[in-house]
Amino acid sequence: MAITKLKNMKKTTKSNLITFGIVVAFYLVIQLCTGMGMMTSSFAGQLVPICAYIILAVSLNLTVGILGELSLGHAGFMSVGAFSGTLVWMTTSATLPSWLALALSFVVGGVVAGLFGLLIGIPVLRLSGDYLAIVTLAFGEIIKNFMNACYLGYDANGLHFSLKDSASLHLAADGQVLINGAMGITGVKKASTFTVGIILILITLVVILNLIHSRAGRAITSIRDNEIAAQSIGINITRYKLMAFIVSAVFAGVAGVLYSLNFSTLVAKKFDYNTSILILVFVVLGGIGNIRGSIIAAAILTVLPELLRSMNDYRMLIYAIVLIVVMIFSQSPQLVAWRKKTLAKFKKNGSVKPPKGVA
Amino acid sequence: MSEVFDAMQFLSYLINGISLGSVYALIALGYTMVYGIAKMLNFAHGDVIMIGSYVVFFAFGSFGLNPIVSVLLSMVVCTLLGVTVERVAYRPLREAPSLAVLITAIGVSYLLQQTAQLMWSSNPKSFTSVVGLRAVSLFDGQLMISGETIVTILSCILIMLALTWFVNHTSAGHAMLAVSEDRGAAQLMGVNVNATISLTFAIGSALAAIAGALLCSSYPTLQPTTGAMPGIKAFVAAVFGGIGSIPGAFVGGILLGIIENLSKAYISTQLSDAIVFLMLIVVLLVKPTGLLGKKVNVKV
């Protein structure tokens, strides 16, 4: 009975179930390893960042792979989400039950990042290609610089804000500095756990996979494939571009909260251009437009420097070389053709699809 | 701006801005030429500057070679480096999607930074200025212009003129223009596309070496990440002026330097980078292909 059901299932549903299955299996294996005491502490410390990076990679893939626009400022959305979510967590965790405060932090982080996505998206999505990329990069740097120079505190009179230093907040004696410029937020009570991370990954996947396979998702892919043709059949370009961009920003914000609540201090410097690039590397290495690939690439590439720890000084060097070699081997047209020819020898009906590229 | 507006001080900030902008312009030329001809964003360009600066640091600072010889040596090293990187890492991906090349360039950037860190450690080195010129004092000492500033601005102008002449009046330059216009058609006309792209990388990298020496003469700390931020800023400058356009890189670089220095002086040191990037966004919203960029109409 069950087998016939599985056979009649739609191809996309089956593919989605495999993706969910991978995440759940990953969770179970890790829980099993932890239970048997097989986890090293350095690897256990990587679990929450892995979850955050998976969400970031999946959400960026929506912009880069499905919408087809290169974004180099994903860390900016992560940053606004992290700061707003952490502020909510700091202020509510004492009064509300902790699960509610945590949920509220994630929601606020996501919503604020989404609002920024809207704010940035409206003007920016008029540009395209490399120009859009550079503007998203500029946006990420602006957020980083702004948060680095941002001071926020509160006392009996309410909130105080300054861009100069903590002294010019003019706080009353009982006042408390919340964001201390480049020092960021300190004394955060850690709240992210691996289980929370996995739940968030599953939510992200449900939303994004459903979006991709919905009517809206097909509209978004049609814009990627040919904007003018999509426009000519009556697709509202701005609306669908914004939709993809905002959903992508929301989940980047959520991932930012998840990431920041794993550490006791939160500084803006962490969310710089290199972080945006790192996420883009996950997306490209995992396969542009391939959600499952993003998950696997994010997990492996976050663990890789950890695995190479024994090589110490050379690990980032090896990482760089791996990156270059993998790119050349997976993307060079000559090598792709050679690979296909070799594969065809082994498989009779081996029709390997070429990797879908976004110019 | 509580103090009284000081015209001399403003002039001094402005000149320093032009000097910083000249360095950006030199780096931006490398970005813009490579983009125009190979249609790729060479993210490793900033790190070529860093390698060039280390070469000058050792040749001039440690071995005491003549400053000009040191810079020439650095140009040779950077040229070889740029051409090798293009040959090994970028050429196999010439027909691949542009994102693939972008990621490879990022990989090369990491590789250069890590190599520098392994060879010379991440401790900052203090760079000895290669400029022997003394500061010039104007208006009875009210305005001091350092030798570095003068040399930087002059060399940038000279290089710009030479490059414009090269592109417009030599056959190699014409080949570059042809390849940037239409690679396929240029190849059919007998232009050696691979050689032209190699030449572009060679020129861009040689300019990066000069930019590195000038940059570190004015801002004398040298470490493996020295090239990263100027690299990004120069990239912004190239887009600002219209990426692919040589005069655009010049205008964009100078403007960016001025905006950065003035906002550092009068608004906020911490927010100066944010202001620079905000200006870029504003310019692109008004002129989507940069100040001097060509408008491209997309056809179905």
Evaluate whether residue B37 is within a structural domain. yes
Q: pLDDT tens digits, residue range B103-143?
A: 888 889 989 998 998 888 888 888 877 777 777 777 777 77
What was the pLDDT predicted at B288? Answer: 77
B199 domain residue, yes or no: yes
ipTM above 0.85, yes or no: no
Distance of residue A191 Cα from the nearest chain B Cα, in angstroms = 31
Q: Which residue of A has its CA nearest to B281?
A: A135
Q: Which residues pair with A284 in a beta bridge?
A: none
Range of the domain at B24: 7-286
Q: At what angle do helices A11-35 and A291-307 cross, to 10 degrees?
A: 20
Contact present, A116 and A77 (Cβ < 8 Å): yes
Confirm or reject contact between B105 and chain A (CB < 8 A): no
B88 domain-assigned: yes
Is residue A356, in this structure, part of any structural domain at all? no
In a domain, B212, yes or no: yes
Q: Which residue of A has its CA nearest to B235?
A: A134
* Contact predicate A53/A75, CB 8 Å: no
Residues of B within 8 A of A357 (CB-CB) are: 96-97, 99-100
Q: Does B98 touch chain A (CB under 8 A)?
A: yes
* Residue owning tokens 């009064």: A95
Q: Answer yes or no: is pLDDT of B98 > 80.
A: no
Beta carbons of B277 and A138 less than 8 Å apart? yes
Of A81, A128, A72, nearest to A105 by C-alpha is: A81
User: Does residue A352 form part of some domain?
Assistant: no
Q: Which of A131, A145, A320 lies at the smallest CB-CB distance from B273?
A: A145
* Structural domains of chain B, count: 1
Domain limits for position A293: 10-346
Instruction: Give the residue on A whose Cα is nearest the Cα of B300.
Output: A228
Number of domains in chain A: 1
Tokens of B143: 């305005």
Residue A154 resides in a domain:
yes
Q: What is the dihedral sign for C-alpha A260, A262, A266, A269?
A: negative
Structure tokens at A69: 């626009």
Dihedral of the alpha carbons of B260, B24, B244, A355, in degrees to the nearest 10: -90
Evaluate whether residue A355 is within a structural domain. no
Residues of B in contact with A64 (CB under 8 A): 99
B188 at interface of A, judged by CB pairs closer than 8 A: no
Query: B79 pLDDT exceeds 90?
Result: yes
Residues A183-193 as b/e (b if ≥16 CB within 10 A, e otherwise) read: ebbeebeebbb
- CATH number of the domain at A332, please: 1.10.3470
Q: What is the pLDDT of residue B36?
A: 85
The β-bridge relationship of strands B221-222 and B125-126 is: antiparallel
Q: Is residue B1 part of a domain?
A: no
How far apart are alpha carbons A224 and B164 in whole angstroms?
Answer: 38
Helices (H), B189-270: 193-218, 228-241, 246-266
Task: Count Cβ atoms below 10 Å from residue A166 Cβ, excluding itself.
Answer: 16
Closest Cα in chain A, distance from residue B48 (Å): 16
Is residue B295 a part of any domain in this protein?
no
- Flag if B281 and A138 touch (Cβ within 8 Å): yes
Question: Which residue has better confidence, B86 or A185?
Answer: B86
Residue B30, min C-alpha distance to chain A (Å): 16
Span B247-280, pLDDT tens digits: 889 999 999 999 999 988 888 777 888 888 888 8
CATH number (domain holding residue B76): 1.10.3470
Query: Is B114 touching A (CB cutoff 8 A)?
Result: yes
Q: Which residues pair with A68 in a beta bridge?
A: none
- Do the Cβ atoms of B232 and B42 come closer than 8 Å? no
Q: Facing residues of A152 across strands?
A: A161, A179
Q: Is residue A324 one of the residues assigned to a domain?
A: yes
Q: Which chain A residues have a beta carbon less than 8 Å from that of B41? A: 130, 133
Examine residue B130 and state whether it is found in any structural domain, yes or no: yes
Q: Is B163 part of a structural domain of the chain? A: yes
Which residue does chain B place closest to A355, by CA atoms? B97
Question: Chain A partners of B280 at a C-beta cutoff of 8 Å?
Answer: 134-135, 138
Q: B228 or A84: which carries more pLDDT confidence? A: A84
Best residue in B34, B104, B298 for a mutation probing chain A (most A CBs within 10 Å) = B104
Which DSSP string do the residues of A236-270 spell out, in sequence order? -HHHHHHHHHHHHHHHHHHHHHHHHTTSS-B-GGG
> Closest partner residue to B104 among A64, A273, A327, by Cβ?
A327
Mutate to test the interface with B, among A276, A324, A335 (most CBs of B within 10 A): A324
Q: What is the pLDDT along chain A (359 residues), one digit of tens a residue?
A: 556 666 667 788 888 888 888 888 888 888 888 878 777 777 788 889 999 999 999 999 999 989 888 888 899 999 999 999 998 988 888 888 888 888 999 999 999 999 999 988 888 777 777 778 888 888 898 998 888 888 888 777 777 777 777 677 777 666 777 787 778 788 788 888 888 999 999 999 999 999 999 999 999 999 988 888 998 999 998 899 999 999 999 999 999 999 999 888 888 888 888 888 889 888 888 888 889 999 999 998 888 877 776 766 777 788 788 888 888 888 788 888 888 888 887 775 545 455 554 44
Q: Which of B51, B17, B27, B64 is nearest to B211 (CA)?
A: B27
pLDDT digits (tens, 9 = 90+) for B140-181: 777 778 888 888 899 999 999 999 999 999 999 999 989 988
**CA-nearest residue of chain A to B39?**
A130
Q: In degrees rounded to 5, what are phi and psi of residue A177?
A: -85, 125
